[in-house]
C-alpha cells in the first residue's frame, strides 16, 4: 500500500512544479506522511483520513508564513505617479457627460473635475487622484 502513497505524493510534487502556489505541495507532504503511516497501520481509510488531516493542517498552518514571504509591496505604476502634478486642459470638461481631457507632461488623460465644475481648454489643473482610467483633477487657484 505504501507504493500507492508514494505515487500519489510524487504526482502532487510534480504538479507543484507546474503551479504557482504551495497548495499542491502540502498534499504531497500529506502523501508522504500517509506512506509512512501505511507501514504501521494497514487500514486504507485511516491512511486516507491522515492524508486529509495532515494536508489541511499544513495548508492552514503555513498560510500566514507563506503570505508574509510572498507579500509584495504595491508598486506605483505610471498612472499613480501623476498624482499631485499639474496639467493643462486640452478638451473642455462637460460635467453632465463626465468628459474632459488633460495633458500632464507628455501624456493625455481622460479626466473629471473633483467638484463637477466646468473647465475650459487651457485651464491649469492639478491631479488629485486616479479613479480607474480617469484622472480626477481640481482647478489650480490663481
DSSP string, 32-77: HHHHHHHTT---HHHHHHHHHHHHHHHHHHHHHHHHHHH--PPPP-
Q: Report pTM.
A: 0.48
User: Which of 77, 74, 113 lies closest to 94, judged by CA?
Assistant: 113
Query: 94-141, pLDDT tens digit by residue?
Result: 767 767 899 998 889 888 888 878 888 898 999 999 888 888 898 887
- Read off the pLDDT of each residue in 70-95 and give the average, rounded to a whole number: 77
Residues 6+ apart with CB under 8 A from 32: 5, 6, 9
What is the DSSP-derived secondary structure letter of residue 82?
G
Phi, psi of 23 (to 5 degrees): -60, -45
Residue, of 67 and 44, whose pLDDT is higher = 44
How far apart CA 79 and CA 42 sit, in angstroms, is 61
How much is the pLDDT for 119? Answer: 83
Q: pLDDT of 30-60, one tens digit each?
A: 999 999 999 999 999 999 999 999 999 998 8
State pLDDT tens for residues 19-37: 866 678 889 999 999 999 9
**Strand partners of residue 108:** 103
Closest-CA residue to 70 (of 32, 17, 23): 23
- At 61, the pLDDT band (50, 70, 90 cuts) reads confident
Domain annotation for the chain: domains and CATH numbers: 2-70 (no CATH), 80-139 (2.40.50.140)
Amino acid at each position: 500500500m505504501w507504493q500507492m502513497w508514494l505515487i500519489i505524493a510524487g504526482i502532487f510534487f510534480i504538479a507543484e512544479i507546474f503551479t504557482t502556489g504551495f497548495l499542491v505541495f502540502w498534499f504531497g507532504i500529506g502523501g508522504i506522511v500517509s506512506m509512512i503511516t501505511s507501514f504501521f497501520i494497514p487500514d486504507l481509510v485511516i491512511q486516507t483520513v491522515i492524508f486529509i488531516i495532515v494536508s489541511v493542517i499544513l495548508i492552514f498552518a503555513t498560510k500566514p508564513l507563506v503570505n508574509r514571504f510572498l507579500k509584495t509591496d504595491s508598486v506605483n505604476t505610471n498612472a499613480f505617479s501623476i498624482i499631485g502634478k499639474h496639467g493643462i486642459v486640452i478638451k473642455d470638461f462637460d460635467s453632465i457627460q463626465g468628459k474632459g481631457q488633460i495633458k500632464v507632461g507628455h501624456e493625455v488623460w481622460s479626466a473629471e473635475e473633483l467638484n463637477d465644475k466646468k473647465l475650459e481648454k487651457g485651464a491649469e489643473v492639478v491631479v488629485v487622484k486616479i479613479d480607474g482610467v480617469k484622472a480626477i483633477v481640481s482647478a489650480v487657484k490663481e
